[in-house]
Amino acid sequence: MNEERARALTEKALSFASADHTEVSVGAGVQTAARFANNSIIQHVRNRDQGLGVTAAFGQRVGGASTNDLSDEGIRACVGRAEAAARSSEPNTEYLPPPGPQDYMSIDAWDDDVVELPHDTRATAISEALAPVEAAGLRAAGSYTTHASQRAIANSSGVFGYNRSTHACYVQTVLTENSSGWAESVGSALDQLDVPAASRVALQKAEAAKDPTEVKPGAYTVVFEPAAVAGLTSIVGWTMDAKTADEGRSCWTGLEGAQVGVPALTMRSVPAHPILPSSPWGEQGIAASDTIWIEDGVLRNLIYSRFWAQEKGREATGRPANLVIDGSDATTEDLIAQVDYGLLVTRFWYIRFVDPMKLLITGMTRDGLFLIEGGRVTRGVRNMRFNDSPLSVIKKIRAMGQARPTTLHGLQVVPPMLVDEFHFTSGTSF
Amino acid sequence: MKDLARLALDTALSRGADYADVRLVRYRSQNIGTEDRRVSSLSDTEDVGIGVRAIANGAWGFSGTCDLSPEGVQACAADAVAIARASAIVGQKPVSLVPEPPATRAFRTPYQIDPFAVPIEEKVGLLLEINERLLANRAVRKAHGFMTLRKADRMFLSSEGSDLESEVVTTNATYSATAVGDGDARSRSYEPPPLTMGYENIDREDLLANTERVAEEAVEHLRAPECEPCVTDLVLDPVHLSLTIHESVGHATELDRALGMEESLAGRSFAVPSLLRNLKYGSDLVTFRADNTLEHGLATHGFDDEGVAGQAWNIVEDGLFVGYGTSREVAGEIGLERSTGSCRADHWGSIPIVRIPNLSLMPGKVPCSPDEIIADTKRGIYIEGRGSFSIDQMRCNFQFGGDAFWEIRDGKRVRMLKNVTYQSMTTDFWNSIDAIADERFWHMGGVLNCGKGDPMQISQMTHGAATVRVRNVQVGAAAGVMRKSS
């Protein structure tokens, strides 16, 4: 769906509209994924879809509808359903009319190589990645996924925006009889992917974690790899809503402007990030911009919707489309060398809220948990359950390393972190 | 539309597929959300497309498209076969399907009221009236209401001769109240079961009748004391159990997971095939029955997305691990001659994978009520509803919360508690069940948004249960950490 077609479709939808305000979004995408397990491709899929969404408002009575039938009849019906829903509904007292024309940043995140990747090229890349695993007598699982999408927005106030993007992701888990190791490689362009490197890392971790022993639950000094950090920082990004905080229903209540983390911590969103870019627009088509959430450890901004920003005399921020934390030039090994006794965590699994008022969360380690002794990784240990709070973690960061991209928990570019007193409360059998 | 599906099938076969099947599905959904006195979201979605699965050179290929022109459908089918041939580059053994007799039939969710024929005003009005009643309690500062309505019209053809159609309707309405004060906020929810049923499942009188209690309990929850870490007995209601069953039994007994095929995302299972009939999964009281013919069950669709008819079978019988949910591809790995029919896709553009069936804990065989279980419990905690949930990737170590908690002392519920979580290992937990209420108290709960697969797919399934007692469970370790740290 090129820009010309996208514009024609949005104009068509707006021409059918009779509401006070109408917003239209349109898009098309292709996702291809080859999934493997036990050293074989078990699923290999391609999905092509398109869609058009309409939000119609009569005063503050708002209704939405969507369809993937982009014929004139389909678009007219979709507009009709949105308007009928709006007319039949009661007011959304927080609805604001859509903005006027915006100046969108140019985000170039398109790679033809991602779009045109042949099926057998993908399969061959997997085959080559599996070769060292099979040579070691081990088995692997993972996936090689690519996604290309084009999208546009328009509204009855004169907005039009068009953007296209590609994304590629390779993940691999290697399994021994009693351990596993995981790695990923991600980017918006194919040349940002390093499939062989991800395979090597996963294999090395699985072998290093073999014959794991048990360690007792308790508070540990921990080195978190970037994928593990992302599990914790995603919780920060999801929850820091200003309205919820102002209503007293959140751990963030009263914290704006306060020192919430170590001075070395700055967390921001960068829509035009060169590896993991996000959309040039946010809520209702407002132009996205770089946003600083935490600066030098101080909480500068919570998430302000347009409505809540208006209520509070603030700028609307939109939701964080990606999260970027700059680290340092230190490697993960440099962080490990600073730990006398602690743990190295590859990633987390099944993170869930326990008490949102304290941002207490729980989850499991996965695919590579290691004991650190005297500044070196000495052995693999059995996976453990943690219960702790990211609000507590960011106050106890001792050091950070080189930031790396990860999409395990949304679009993030985050560094490995050395954190003191992280709480593990139970273990498991593997 | 059937002509298009046949065109896809014929194209796949003409391109050299050894097996092919086609799903052409039309979806309609409405989702309504209310917050306090406003409508916070209202959407109406329609979506239609076709998905073609093919086996060629012993491997799977799948392609889906929304382009329902003859050219689009043919290209999609050809793509599926090309993908299968590419898949064969990385294959250890050819895909083999257990037989399924071809059939021609139609299935329709039995329903009286088409949810999409009910005016939006009525749906919105109901949710706002619920919120108004919740907010009538001045200590309640936030009220949320949700309604989910879905319909899927599906056509399935296979190269083996199956010609199947289905119409499945799903409805659900829930709400919650949040009380705020003294630097804290606590909620209470009301979650009638989501079911494959028409709008008659949205029971206006029942929803309104529970608002006063829910508001009062939200306030009581806010003022409740913290739960201290301890080892104690738990009495768990059916709504709460729906999630415990889902996570620690349902996912653990998906055969593809047990064979390592889900490792790249959701993990594997401790319940490997060598443990079939060799593992005491639960106490002698515990039988888990899978039933994709269960009337109004969320996974009751007539046939799965491989054309296998809905069936009923045991997963755990009198405590013994005896069965799995399977697809045609994996059923043969444990010597089954027929798939149990648990292979579903969430969308025409997704490949079918093994999903949890309707899976229920069967009621106790001895007359026993939840009140009698509580009266028989000296010290413990009674948990209603769903809250936090987390489990490891082999389905062993889990931690659950809930929606509301009461301390039990000397056979009575004496006061509410807050911040109750419990942690256990799956087979330890189910082997510690020593009481289950009888069939009078058996209740169908369910999950509308189970995530599995890579790419991720969302599925729905019913979990029925009656109130149980579990002995000697570790409680409160999670909140205990925060109290030590602060």
- Please report, for chain A, the start and end positions of each structural domain, with discontinuous segments joined by +: 3-205, 212-430
Measured distance CA(B337)–CA(B342) in Å, rounded: 15
- The pLDDT value recorded for residue B245 is 98
Over residues B341-354, the pLDDT tens digits come to 999 999 999 999 99
Q: Residue B174: in which H helix or E strand, if any?
A: strand B163-181
Average pLDDT over residues A158-178: 97
Best mutation target among B15, B30, B31, B42 (most A Cβ atoms within 10 Å) is: B42
- Contact A46/B90, CB-based, under 8 Å? no
Average pLDDT over residues A235-251: 97
Taking contacts as CB-CB distances below 8 angstroms, the residues of chain B near A356 are 185
- The pLDDT value recorded for residue B478 is 87
Over residues A22-66, the pLDDT tens digits come to 999 999 999 999 999 999 999 999 999 999 999 999 999 999 999
Q: Please, are residues B50 and B5 in contact by the beta-carbon 8 Å criterion? A: yes
- The pLDDT value recorded for residue A107 is 93
Over residues B432-448, the pLDDT tens digits come to 999 999 999 999 999 99
**pLDDT of B483 higher than 90:** no
What CATH number does the domain containing B59 carry?
A: 3.30.2290.10
Q: Could you list the residue range(s) of the whole structural domain that residue B203 is in?
A: 2-223
Taking contacts as CB-CB distances below 8 angstroms, the residues of chain A near B485 are 392, 421, 423
- The pLDDT value recorded for residue B484 is 67
- Contact A364/B390, CB-based, under 8 Å? yes
- Minimal CA separation from B372 to chain A, in Å: 30
Best mutation target among B34, B43, B141 (most A Cβ atoms within 10 Å) is: B43
- Contact A354/B401, CB-based, under 8 Å? yes
Q: Look at residues B223, B243, B276 and tell me which one is the last residue of a structural domain.
A: B223
Measured distance CA(B130)–CA(B4) in Å, rounded: 46
Best mutation target among B48, B121, B327, B393 (most A Cβ atoms within 10 Å) is: B393
| H helices, E strands: number in chain A | 10, 19
- The pLDDT value recorded for residue B481 is 78
B390 and B412 fall within a common domain: yes
B198 and B312 fall within a common domain: no
Measured in degrees and rounded to the nearest 5, phi and psi for residue B383 equal: -120, 130
B332 and B469 fall within a common domain: yes
Average pLDDT over residues A389-399: 98
Long-range contacts of A148-151 (CB under 8 A, 24+ apart): A148/A29, A148/A30, A148/A31, A148/A110, A148/A114, A148/A115, A149/A27, A149/A28, A149/A29, A149/A30, A150/A1, A150/A2, A150/A6, A150/A27, A150/A28, A150/A29, A151/A6, A151/A25, A151/A26, A151/A27, A151/A28, A151/A279
Q: Look at residues B161, B195, B223 and tell me which one is the last residue of a structural domain.
A: B223
B312 and B362 fall within a common domain: yes
CA nearest neighbour of B210 among B200, B201, B199, B218: B218
Over residues B269-313, the pLDDT tens digits come to 999 999 999 999 999 999 999 999 999 999 999 999 999 999 999
For residue B131, the SS3 value is helix
Average pLDDT over residues B457-477: 97
B207 and B255 fall within a common domain: no
Domain count, chain B: 2
**pLDDT of B164 higher than 70:** yes
Q: What is the CATH number of domain A3-205?
A: 3.30.2290.10
Taking contacts as CB-CB distances below 8 angstroms, the residues of chain A near B455 are 31, 33, 45, 145
Taking the CB of residue B251, how many other CB atoms lie within 10 A of it? 24
Over residues A80-100, the pLDDT tens digits come to 999 999 999 999 999 999 999
Q: Which of residues 335-394 of A touch B (CB under 8 A)?
A: 349-358, 360, 362-364, 366, 383, 385, 387-389, 392
- What percent of chain B is predicted at pLDDT more than 90? 97
- Contact A90/B260, CB-based, under 8 Å? no
For residues B480 and B486, which has the higher predicted lDDT (pLDDT)? B480
- Contact B351/A139, CB-based, under 8 Å? no
A61 φψ region: left (φ > 0), alpha (ψ -120 to 50), beta (else): beta
- The DSSP 8-state label assigned to residue A395 in this structure reads T
Residue of B nearest to A66 (CA): B45
Sequence-ordered list of residues with C-beta below 8 angstroms from that of A243, at least 6 positions apart, any chain: A305, A308
- The DSSP 8-state label assigned to residue B246 in this structure reads I
Q: Look at residues B201, B223, B245 and tell me which one is the last residue of a structural domain.
A: B223
**pLDDT of B166 higher than 80:** yes
Taking contacts as CB-CB distances below 8 angstroms, the residues of chain A near B67 are 48
- The pLDDT value recorded for residue A169 is 97
Measured in degrees and rounded to the nearest 5, phi and psi for residue B280 equal: -85, 95
- Contact B392/A352, CB-based, under 8 Å? no
Measured distance CA(B169)–CA(B31) in Å, rounded: 14
Tokens of B290: 């899978």
Q: Which among A31, A93, A180 is the nearest to B38, CB-wise?
A: A93
Over residues B113-139, the pLDDT tens digits come to 999 999 999 999 999 999 999 999 999
Sequence-ordered list of residues with C-beta below 8 angstroms from that of B135, at least 6 positions apart, any chain: B36, B37, B143, B215
C-alpha to C-alpha distances, A334 to A53, A206, A417, nearest whole angstrom = 49, 21, 11
